Chain A
Amino acid sequence: MQVALDILSWLLLIAGSAFALIGAAGLIRFPDVYARMHAAGITDTLGAGLIISGLMIQGGFTLVTVKLAAILIFLLYTSPTSTYALANAAYSRGLQPLLGKRDADTAEKESS
Chain B
Amino acid sequence: MLHAVSLGLVLYGTWLLFSGIYTPLLMGLGAVSCLAVVGIAHRMDVVDREGHPIHLGWRALTYWMWLAVEIVKANIDVARRILDPKMPIDPVVVTVKASQGSELGQVIYANSITLTPGTVSIRINDNAILVHAIATELAEDIQSGAMDRRVTAMEGAGPPPSEDAR
- Number of residues from A at the complex interface, CB < 8 A: 43
Taking CB as reference atom, which chain A residue is nearest B136? A101
Query: Least Cβ distance of A3 to chain B in Å?
Result: 27
Q: How far is the CA of A22 from the CA of B23 in the complex (A)?
A: 46
> Is the pair B79, A42 in contact by a Cβ cutoff of 8 Å?
yes
Q: For chain A, what secondary structure do more than half of its interface residues adopt (helix, strand, loop), or is it mixed? A: helix
20 additional contacts, CB 8 Å, given A37-B120, A39-B82, A91-B122? A26-B78, A26-B81, A26-B82, A38-B134, A41-B117, A66-B17, A80-B110, A80-B111, A81-B111, A83-B120, A84-B110, A84-B111, A91-B130, A97-B93, A99-B93, A100-B90, A102-B90, A103-B87, A104-B87, A105-B86
> Is the pair B82, A41 in contact by a Cβ cutoff of 8 Å?
no
Complex interface: chain B residues within 8 A of A76 (CB): 115
Count A-B pairs with CB separation below 8 Å.
Answer: 120
- Number of residues from B at the complex interface, CB < 8 A: 37
> Is the pair A41, B87 in contact by a Cβ cutoff of 8 Å?
no
Taking CB as reference atom, which chain A residue is nearest B121? A84
Q: Is B85 part of the binding interface, using a Cβ–Cβ cutoff of 8 Å?
A: yes
Within the complex, which residue of A45, A70, A81, A104 is in contact with B71, where a contact is CB–CB below 8 Å? Answer: A45
> Is the pair A80, B114 in contact by a Cβ cutoff of 8 Å?
yes
Q: A36-86: which have CB < 8 Å to B?
A: 37-39, 41-42, 45-46, 63, 66-67, 70, 76-77, 79-81, 83-84
Annotate B83-95 by CB proximity to A: 1 below 8 A, 0 otherwise.
1011111111100
